[in-house]
Chain A
């Protein structure tokens, strides 16, 4: 029979499909629930830059020891300018003396990188009119903040605090209402580098793309951050210590830009970073302004290494680049399959649920299969029932008073067996009833005077 041999296979296939659909639905549910845990991402354009360093963790505190507040007060009282060892701030003494005029002004200069407690101690030296921590100038209730790139270049690139000092002294000692200093970073303090200065730098840049002069704290070329900021080509890096103010310093940027046209070039003087190269006109000022507006205050008071300053600058550049302001090509970012699949997921899930429901209902609507283990209608029981019924009919003509009750009981059992078969009741029940009918008919067959009417013999004869 082809249908009975094919049906179980189709059935197992359907059952497998049902479990498969259920597993898919559960998997989708899990994916959906996991995706609910997404965090807000505030970076514009998925910029990979990470420019966050916790305060005090980057070695920006130099760990210098200061004299006590009493000693500092005595030192300040004894001298108009107190420079503690390690101080870096410089200024044009003529301009500052002119600003002081006849006023009683005392200046206390400390090295950068004081701890919070040391800063409070310096603040509590009351007779100091002006305090300079690193290149951070403060006095009375005021604190000088650089307002343009030239100021930042002077203070961070050359440790020149002249304009801040003049501004603050005018304010504190003379009550001036001027709140913005004019630029003091005159063009005369920079000059073109000589060939002897330029050649070793250019040679280094040609061979490794990286030049760190003696005294610079940049230890290695920032390859990864550089690639994020400037594309796979990276950039050339020149790190120089802050040139002292006073004498004109060599300005490597334009000279190297002429030697390496169309190549991103980063030149560092101390904490001051200049960019030369493609898009410089659009981009260099914006990058410098956003970087120093954010970090300039921190850089002036602490002693960060050039590695950290450059890393933070490159992170800023990366952010700007990923903002898409300058049509610079973004690196390829593969599409996230989860983001694409997420809107379709509920409907796929619903489809799986419906399929599972349909297959479940289908399996429930097939009662033969549902209680397969309990009552499978087999040919054996049917044949036995038919045979025993035929025997009962045949033997009924031969019975007497002694065998009638047994025959009647056999017929009762046969009728019950027929009903059990029709109702697909458990198989054991059917065979029990057939056994009983068998026993009763055996009783009848033994008492009939003709041989061959006992069920075993009769059924064997019927089959033959």
Chain B
């Protein structure tokens, strides 16, 4: 009877490990995807801002600074808040250029 103890112990450890893995891995994976999505949006915003800058006839120093900051942040590849900040900076730069060239 005592010889079955290793089976029970190993079984319990495996059960716990499998349960934790099924609970944590999808969560971790979803976090990764959210981060990836945030950076994708940030890069898209920077790219659109670049397009607006290239099309602009009147330069805007403030927009240039904002875009530069956004690019600096995106080169560092941080977390979600960094991606969000880069995206908002790029969007503000985009708006500045568009407003300057609307007429």
Query: What CA separation (Å) do A110 and B8 show in the bound complex?
Result: 65
Question: Per a CB cutoff under 8 Å, which of A364, A367, A412 touches B21?
Answer: A364
The answer on a CB contact under 8 Å between A375 and B48 is no
Besides A405-B54, A416-B47, A425-B40, 6 other CB < 8 A contacts?
A346-B4, A350-B7, A371-B26, A409-B48, A423-B33, A426-B33
Closest A residue, CB atoms, query B22? A360
Question: Per a CB cutoff under 8 Å, which of B11, B22, B41 touches A364?
Answer: B22
The answer on a CB contact under 8 Å between A413 and B44 is yes
| A400 shortest CB reach to chain B, Å | 12
The answer on a CB contact under 8 Å between B33 and A374 is yes
A429: which B residues are within 8 A, CB to CB?
37-38, 40-41
The answer on a CB contact under 8 Å between A356 and B18 is yes
The answer on a CB contact under 8 Å between A371 and B44 is no
| Interface 0/1 of A348-364, CB less than 8 Å to B | 01101100110011011
The answer on a CB contact under 8 Å between B41 and A29 is no
**A356-406, CB < 8 A from B:** 356-357, 360-361, 363-364, 367, 370-371, 374-375, 404-405
The answer on a CB contact under 8 Å between A360 and B40 is no
Question: Per a CB cutoff under 8 Å, which of B19, B22, B30, B51 touches A405?
Answer: B51
Question: Per a CB cutoff under 8 Å, which of A22, A349, A367 touches B7?
Answer: A349
| Interface 0/1 of B1-26, CB less than 8 Å to A | 10010011001101100110110011
The answer on a CB contact under 8 Å between A346 and B37 is no
Query: What CA separation (Å) do A275 and B40 show in the bound complex?
Result: 99
Question: Per a CB cutoff under 8 Å, which of B11, B18, B22, B48 touches A412?
Answer: B48
B34: which A residues are within 8 A, CB to CB?
374, 426
The answer on a CB contact under 8 Å between A374 and B40 is no
| A432 shortest CB reach to chain B, Å | 7
| A269 shortest CB reach to chain B, Å | 50
Question: Per a CB cutoff under 8 Å, which of A32, A412, A423 touches B51?
Answer: A412
Question: Per a CB cutoff under 8 Å, which of B14, B19, B41, B54 touches A432?
Answer: B41
A347 on the B face (CB < 8 A): yes
**A167-197, CB < 8 A from B:** none
A420 on the B face (CB < 8 A): yes
Most chain A Cβ neighbours within 10 Å, of B12, B25, B36, B48: B48
Give residues in B with beta carbon < 8 Å to A. Answer: 1, 4, 7-8, 11-12, 14-15, 18-19, 21-22, 25-26, 29-30, 33-34, 36-38, 40-41, 43-44, 47-48, 51-52, 54-55
A205 on the B face (CB < 8 A): no
Closest A residue, CB atoms, query B101? A405
Contacts A405-B52, A432-B41 hold; do A353 and B47 have CB atoms under 8 A apart?
Answer: no
A424 on the B face (CB < 8 A): yes
A288: which B residues are within 8 A, CB to CB?
none
| B5 shortest CB reach to chain A, Å | 9
The answer on a CB contact under 8 Å between A356 and B15 is yes
Query: What CA separation (Å) do A371 and B27 show in the bound complex?
Result: 8
Closest B residue, CB atoms, query A26? B15
Count of inter-chain pairs, beta carbons less than 8 A: 99
The answer on a CB contact under 8 Å between B44 and A412 is yes
Most chain B Cβ neighbours within 10 Å, of A342, A371, A433: A371
Contacts A342-B1, A364-B22 hold; do A425 and B11 have CB atoms under 8 A apart?
Answer: no
The answer on a CB contact under 8 Å between A360 and B55 is no
The answer on a CB contact under 8 Å between A425 and B36 is yes
Closest A residue, CB atoms, query B46? A412
Contacts A426-B34, A426-B37 hold; do A349 and B11 have CB atoms under 8 A apart?
Answer: yes
Closest A residue, CB atoms, query B48? A409
Closest B residue, CB atoms, query A430? B37
Question: Per a CB cutoff under 8 Å, which of A25, A360, A375, A416 touches B11?
Answer: A25
Closest 3 pairs between A and B when the two form their complex, measured CB to CB = A405-B55, A416-B44, A429-B37
The answer on a CB contact under 8 Å between B26 and A360 is no
The answer on a CB contact under 8 Å between B18 and A360 is yes
The answer on a CB contact under 8 Å between A353 and B14 is yes
Query: What CA separation (Å) do A419 and B44 show in the bound complex?
Result: 11
A249 on the B face (CB < 8 A): no
B4: which A residues are within 8 A, CB to CB?
32, 345-346
| B37 shortest CB reach to chain A, Å | 4
